[in-house]
């Protein structure tokens, strides 16, 4: 076959560092538009970007030339730089290390797009932690509460739902260190 074709749709979720409410109504829509532009510039197609003050959801196609990790790094780094350039108010902004990424089947795409589009309404009665736990459970991913909130860093794909990167699972800020045994395993 002389041509490589691909259409992989992912639902990516990541939060602001420590889930601080940086993305208030004055900046949220601009950030969402910027995230969609970055997806396009990376070769993906942002189908929907949504979220609330402390996290974002991005439903996008994964370009065939980038890995999932490259795509998300390519979204987070420039968007963090962009918001900091808006003024002194945003100089302390950071995205949380890690992310959640879930594959989206075409048959479920409309439901996922609606879900992402109604985040403000959804979070009137549900916290980010409750939402994220439910998404992990719905995708069949086992997780340990002691570590999942150190950093939202699980990479999920339906076909590999139990595989994830240990390093992106942790936030190494002071006071957020995992147990000593976990540090030894991570630094080998």
Q: How many CB atoms lie within 10 A of CB 169?
A: 22
Least confident among 42-46, 109-113, 165-169: 165-169
pLDDT-above-70 percentage for the chain? 79
Least confident among 83-92, 103-112, 124-133, 179-188: 179-188
* Cα distance between residue 146 and residue 149, in whole Å: 7
Residue 67 CB-half CA count within 13 A: 5
For residues 56, 61, 66, 72, the Cα torsion angle rounded to the nearest 10 degrees is 0
Instruction: Write down the pLDDT at residue 150.
Output: 63
Domain ranges of the chain: 8-186
Contact indicator for 59, 115 with CB cutoff of 8 Å: no
Cβ within 8 Å of residue 184, ≥6 positions away: none
Task: Write out pLDDT tens, residues 70-96.
Answer: 999 999 999 999 999 999 999 999 999
Beta-bridged to residue 8, according to DSSP, are 62
Nearest to 84 by CA among 2, 16, 5: 16
Which residue in the block uniquely carries the two structure tokens 């739902």? 161
Task: Write out pLDDT tens, residues 122-152.
Answer: 999 999 999 999 999 999 988 888 777 764 4
Architecture of domain 8-186: 2-Layer Sandwich (3.30)
């Amino acid at each position: 076959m002389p041509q490589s074709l691909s259409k992989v749709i992912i639902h990516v979720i990541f939060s602001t560092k420590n889930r601080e409410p940086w993305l208030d109504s004055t900046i949220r829509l601009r950030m969402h538009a910027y995230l969609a532009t970055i997806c396009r510039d990376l070769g993906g197609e942002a189908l929907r970007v949504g979220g609330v003050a402390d996290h974002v959801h991005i439903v996008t196609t994964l370009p065939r030339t980038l890995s999932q990790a490259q795509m998300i790094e390519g979204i987070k780094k420039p968007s963090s730089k962009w918001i900091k350039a808006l003024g002194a108010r945003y100089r302390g902004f950071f995205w949380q290390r890690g992310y959640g990424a879930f594959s989206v089947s075409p048959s479920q795409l409309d439901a996922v797009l609606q879900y992402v589009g109604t985040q403000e309404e959804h979070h009137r009665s549900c916290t980010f932690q409750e939402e994220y736990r439910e998404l992990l459970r719905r995708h069949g991913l086992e997780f340990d509460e002691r570590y999942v909130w150190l950093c939202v860093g699980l990479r999920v794909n339906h076909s590999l739902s139990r595989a994830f990167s240990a390093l992106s699972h942790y936030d190494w800020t002071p006071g957020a260190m995992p147990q000593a045994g976990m540090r030894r395993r991570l630094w080998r």
